[in-house]
Structure 1
């Protein structure tokens, strides 16, 4: 690249260039608001001064054990203060944090530990049994640190050589933590959730974590000192980067070990929670709670949801309950959410049903994402902006992953043509808002017609007795594939196969209506995503 006058003798130096990293957010919060409550967990209260000191202790103790640039520290933890400390302490010594899904089985955990070459494992006592089994299967032999959370009252043995508090006590609270050598350095490793049955190691870098964390603050319109309730698992895309976001505005983390309605309502009422995130299952838990478990909200609470588009009926019920729902969209590969349904004031005057339809769209890119489009995957050209022409949702920018760990073929395939291929099928509306129609593998092709499982599910959700619905393709000799619906009913309600079939025929073209309806518990990941690959296997036997 040819130099211009603006390049000559105007070079990068430590005074005008520092690698982007989210680690400095905590340092600043502790300097500016040292006494502000950073963490609430049961009866525990920790200030930003304490939070920062403990993160540095952890970094120092890890460094003393030889953890440095590119070394993996795995953690199997609930939403606890230790998990927040790991998000800072591990990368502060240039290590890479690998947060493990707490609902995985031993074989998958063992695979993850081996694939990541885990040097140290921190494990909550609640999950010691599965971790013990995983370590017996794993090739690696990491140092195991037990975490004994005082809020956990169940059974669980210690399987490590040292307890977490004892371990960080060996560290220095004034430890001079290390900036990354390069902002492109890995900060965390996340394994895909397994909805496809094929987990991959997604690598995040410091630059992307910094940008998505600040992007959350802007997107969620967070003012100073928000109160954030941890209903989203911190292991999932590093809690959508909110462990770092909250430090930007010196907010308060309210930790929650388990997502239960009484605990959520108590936390919202007692701590005046302003924001929370979660999959639609969290909304269902709040809405379907018995009246004696609910409490009046202190104000309108901002709820950010992703995963499948929330059914119109659920969105309307959340608004009535006092929650303002904003629909986000993203994947593990883009640090969590990178698309937001930015709301227009004029839409607030539309009839409720039309508002719900607007809210069900995924929306437009975060300010931190440089490119979002719906493209024809064969030609890599944009589809018509008509809200009907189907294409693949694609992204590009600094909040797209570094790539898949030790998986060059998958990395190259996902970045083909200079775009990240999400695998999600959608349309582009005339106003530039995208809307998902399905995963590419979830489109049902029946008699040559494409059927969106999301459209069928949305219709089923509108039935007053339906609590959860999932629709997949069932092999069919005549049609090739035919829709098969799996249904969970709301407590105290009833519905028959014929009743639901008639309901669908009233609202859908006949070829889209499920020919099979199964009443059964729908398998989900710990983040509330429906595991359709399991349902497809179940449908074969229907």
Structure 2
């Protein structure tokens, strides 16, 4: 191998301040404020703030936190809904080298306390609505945590935990605070905890480089134009809002904050604010489709929604398109900063019948622009499966938009990265056109009489029944087959359907061995991001039959 000393491209061409700096999403807000100072950055009810005002507030908050002893490597936790303060923290906290831990607002006190302890959080910012659960969590903390109240006039609940408020941070701070880029783009920017359905949640650590690249990847994947108007229906605590706080800022768009995600509020915002883009789990889209406001609604301007977290049934894609809302299907995990796969639309699909086009669009898709590599492979040999839409394997991802690892958990990190790839735990097939289609979680696949049954395929069929509002499928133990599919169904209002009707519907569209053998009518337990809690459903099914 030739010595690099003889390579002219490696001699006298060193990186320095003039040609190299750490990648970080922080400059996005400085650019938006300097180039478009008067454009609306945030809309929240009757409140509108420009980019100049928002940037100044971020600098003030960063300055105030630093004055109070918060700095590089410190964890700043936030228990906030989708309000302007949560958006500002995505810039203010990393401006001082600290790490933002946006926490799930629906968690119990014990879980919140675990996260505060595990991350050694130095600060906790709390909205009044969640003050009581925060108070109980703080009582379980093993160290002192500085509490800062966020007083939102839109909240009807206001419980104070501290004499220090967010407004005071803004008032005390320096509007000209000179923040710095991270010393190293590998430096942590955010901490997100997994759902913890099988034990304590794991702390997923993001770095500046990944946040920067995934933000730009989202712009390309969802085709965010300059000055997009983005409605916050996706929780900012979920994978840092899939990195959209940074992505929308990068295009100097407008963040339309929404404290509560209710269909009537969503439709009102879509009309009032001329929204161009939003994100949400399929459950959010399903709620919209079945809301009274959906009747006769057809958007007067193009709207794009990116959905993920679970595979959207083709019927949901069809329904949204009838309202003039284009659906982009994305796939990702907390460990991959949110979206890492987009179902890029092919022009050849445009002329297909709506049902067939929806089927193509309901696949997970191809790797996002910032993702290094994606494959579906045998989990043992790590050899890619055939691209025949039949062979099933595990989804593997690697690249700059994969987490640093799990905080204080080297064993779990090593296991997740074994073989030089991130192991997602999701099972998929690879289509001849290179698009992947997730069939199930490894732990959710049903093996009945030696045959693999995808719960997602059965759920998609159930959603096509006109009287079904929600549906999920889990395994039911069976003495003869080992296990069989069981459907848990929520019906639409005033619907009268029997279990036999639902099974017959499935048998008309699926191989009979894939059809549910039992049907349970019940509300579906979900996480705060709209994912069905399959572990809870399995327990419910076992107790019911």
Q: TM-score, normalised by structure 1?
A: 0.98
The alignment status of 1:305 with 2:285, answered yes or no, reads: no
| Residues 261, 293 of structure 1: 8 Å contact kept | no
The alignment status of 1:438 with 2:407, answered yes or no, reads: no
* Distance in 2 (alpha carbons) for counterparts of 1:254 and 1:195: 31
Deviation of the 1:194 alpha carbon: 3.5
Structure 1 residue corresponding to 2:417, chosen from 389, 400, 415:
415
The alignment status of 1:190 with 2:192, answered yes or no, reads: yes
Cα distance, 1:285–1:122 mapped onto 2, change above 3 Å: same
* Distance in 2 (alpha carbons) for counterparts of 1:442 and 1:156: 41
| Equivalence for 1:400 | 402
Deviation of the 1:207 alpha carbon: 0.2
The alignment status of 1:149 with 2:131, answered yes or no, reads: no
Cα distance, 1:453–1:92 mapped onto 2, change above 3 Å: same
* Distance in 2 (alpha carbons) for counterparts of 1:468 and 1:214: 34
Give runs of aligned pairs for residues 428-467 of structure 1, distance below 5 A: 428-467=430-469
* Distance in 1 (alpha carbons) for counterparts of 2:86 and 2:319: 33
Deviation of the 1:482 alpha carbon: 1.6
| Equivalence for 1:103 | 106
* Distance in 1 (alpha carbons) for counterparts of 2:468 and 2:197: 23
The alignment status of 1:55 with 2:58, answered yes or no, reads: yes
| Residues 428, 437 of structure 2: 8 Å contact kept | yes
| Residues 369, 396 of structure 1: 8 Å contact kept | yes
| Residues 195, 530 of structure 1: 8 Å contact kept | no
Deviation of the 1:341 alpha carbon: 0.3
Deviation of the 1:309 alpha carbon: 1.5
| Residues 129, 156 of structure 1: 8 Å contact kept | no
Q: Any idea what SS the aligned residue of 2:519 has?
A: strand
| Residues 268, 298 of structure 1: 8 Å contact kept | no
Structure 2 unaligned regions, length at least 5: none
| Residues 298, 322 of structure 2: 8 Å contact kept | no
* Distance in 2 (alpha carbons) for counterparts of 1:396 and 1:112: 27
* Distance in 1 (alpha carbons) for counterparts of 2:343 and 2:161: 45
Q: TM-score, normalised by structure 2?
A: 0.97
Deviation of the 1:148 alpha carbon: 0.8
Q: Any idea what SS the aligned residue of 1:69 has?
A: coil
* Distance in 2 (alpha carbons) for counterparts of 1:181 and 1:54: 24
The alignment status of 1:42 with 2:45, answered yes or no, reads: yes
| Equivalence for 1:243 | 245
Give runs of aligned pairs for residues 268-417 of structure 1, distance below 5 A: 268-291=270-293, 296-417=298-419
Deviation of the 1:197 alpha carbon: 4.9
| Equivalence for 2:217 | 215
Q: Any idea what SS the aligned residue of 1:539 has?
A: helix
* Distance in 2 (alpha carbons) for counterparts of 1:484 and 1:198: 28
| Equivalence for 2:130 | 127
| Equivalence for 1:254 | 256
Structure 1 unaligned regions, length at least 5: none
* Distance in 2 (alpha carbons) for counterparts of 1:513 and 1:16: 60
Deviations 1:449-504 (A, max 9, x none): 11111111111111111111111112222222121111111122221111111111
Cα distance, 1:364–1:418 mapped onto 2, change above 3 Å: same
| Residues 328, 362 of structure 1: 8 Å contact kept | yes
* Distance in 2 (alpha carbons) for counterparts of 1:335 and 1:255: 21
Deviations 1:337-383 (A, max 9, x none): 01000011110111122111101100001110010010111111100
* Distance in 1 (alpha carbons) for counterparts of 2:401 and 2:73: 20
Q: Any idea what SS the aligned residue of 2:227 has?
A: coil
| Equivalence for 2:35 | 32
Q: Any idea what SS the aligned residue of 1:326 has?
A: strand
* Distance in 2 (alpha carbons) for counterparts of 1:10 and 1:320: 56
Give runs of aligned pairs for residues 147-186 of structure 1, distance below 5 A: 147-153=150-156, 155-186=157-188
Give runs of aligned pairs for residues 1-40 of structure 1, distance below 5 A: 2-3=3-4, 4-40=7-43
* Distance in 1 (alpha carbons) for counterparts of 2:450 and 2:460: 22
Deviation of the 1:514 alpha carbon: 1.3
Structure 1 residue corresponding to 2:479, chosen from 455, 464, 477:
477
Give runs of aligned pairs for residues 495-506 of structure 1, distance below 5 A: 495-506=497-508
Deviates more, 1:309-318 or 1:378-387: 309-318
* Distance in 1 (alpha carbons) for counterparts of 2:29 and 2:475: 48
Q: Any idea what SS the aligned residue of 1:162 has?
A: coil
Deviation of the 1:296 alpha carbon: 4.7
| Residues 84, 257 of structure 2: 8 Å contact kept | yes
Deviation of the 1:140 alpha carbon: 2.5
| Equivalence for 2:525 | 523
| Residues 392, 428 of structure 2: 8 Å contact kept | yes
Deviations 1:151-191 (A, max 9, x none): 112x2411123111012211111100121110000000000
Number of equivalenced pairs:
541
Q: Any idea what SS the aligned residue of 1:518 has?
A: strand
| Equivalence for 1:72 | 75
Deviates more, 1:165-174 or 1:48-57: 165-174
| Equivalence for 2:95 | 92
Query: Superposition RMSD on alpha carbons, in Å?
Result: 1.3
